[in-house]
Amino acid sequence: MTSPFLEWLPECTSAFSQEPRHNRVAGWLLRRHVPRCMSDSRPIGVFDSGIGGLTVVKALRDMLPNEKIFYLGDTARVPYGGKSASTVERYSLEIADILIEENAKIVVVACNTASSVALRKLEEHLPVPVTGVIRPGARAAIAATQNKRIGVIGTRATIKSGAYERELRSLNPDIHVTARACPLLVPLIEEGWLDDSLTDHVIARYLGPLAQEGVDTLVLGCTHYPLLADRIGRFLAGKAKLVDSAHSCAKAVEQLLDRHSLRAPRGGAANLQVALTDAPDTFLAVARRALHLEIGEVQLREVLHRAPASAR
């Protein structure tokens, strides 16, 4: 005898794919009741305020080669790092809804700023599992430190939020955290100055005080920063382990897919689609070259509330 749920499942999945933004009950029931032996060929949805989150996409491609990925960069309103918490929350909800319209089975917030201020609201609002970059990064840092002195670098908004400190101390109250905003690093990366003496000077200026604090672990608390991991590591001269938030996030996604039985079937077409909310800038070429990602034609998506030109 067929169970009532299995008789209802096709209708539910059809409705979910047609109106994913509004059919929250269908999403909840699918997550709760779909048998654990089932696979899911829908894409992983990933978003960032710009294109820096492609470092997370690269980590996901390396770790989960069978998975489709839909990446959305909010280049019309980048950066999020200097905006208010309420604005970042509003932008994040709008961008995440676009991913749901693309039938994403999970939403990855590949932006430390959005993870720090909007993650809880996204978890409440979306009908699919959500993960950010802060919790996975904090857990990796706790596992890496030997002297319980951890440094965190990120955008002004991420550091001001105190999200890493809270997460780290929730895992171990005895941890000493030194956090520093590094607002000039993202513009240097987006200009493609990855191997430039000016970038080295800026890194030294920002990280000198952290080195003096004796940190033995440094969290790269912005998804742009893994592109400077070699230069940062060279400055620290092996005195601190680097925690790459992109790699830590990809590991958390892998665990979340397993927990919710959302893995793609083996041998599926694991394509990458990239969409932006404004025309791509030079950093897309930098990301292609530095990350060795095969990025085809870039799509454009409209957003309701574009940032004024003076704010970009």
Give the active site residue among 12, 111, 182, 249. Answer: 111
**Numbers of helices and strands, H then E, in the chain:** 13, 10
Residue with tokens 């513009």: 187
Is-catalytic flag, 222? Answer: yes
Alpha helix stretches (DSSP H) within the chain: 4-18, 24-33, 54-63, 85-101, 112-125, 134-144, 156-161, 163-171, 185-190, 197-212, 229-236, 245-259, 282-291
Integer angstrom CA distances of residue 232 from 5, 140, 190, 208, 239: 53, 18, 16, 11, 11
Give the number of other CB atoms < 10 A from CB of residue 260: 18
The three-state secondary structure class of 217 is strand
Positive or negative torsion for Cα 96, 102, 104, 109: negative
Q: β-strand 217-221 against 44-48: which pairing, if any?
A: unpaired
Encoding tokens for residue 299? Answer: 């799509």
Angle between helices 54-63 and 282-291 (to 10 degrees): 30
Q: From the CA atom positions of the chain, what is the Rg in Å?
A: 20
| Nearest Cα to Cα of residue 207 among 145, 152, 245 | 152
Given the residues 12, 182, 222, 249, select the one marked as catalytic.
222
Q: Are 247 and 217 in contact (CB under 8 A)?
A: no
Burial class (CB in 10 A: 0-12, 13-18, 19+), 251: middle
In this structure, which amino acid lies at residue 137? G
Catalytic residues: 111, 222
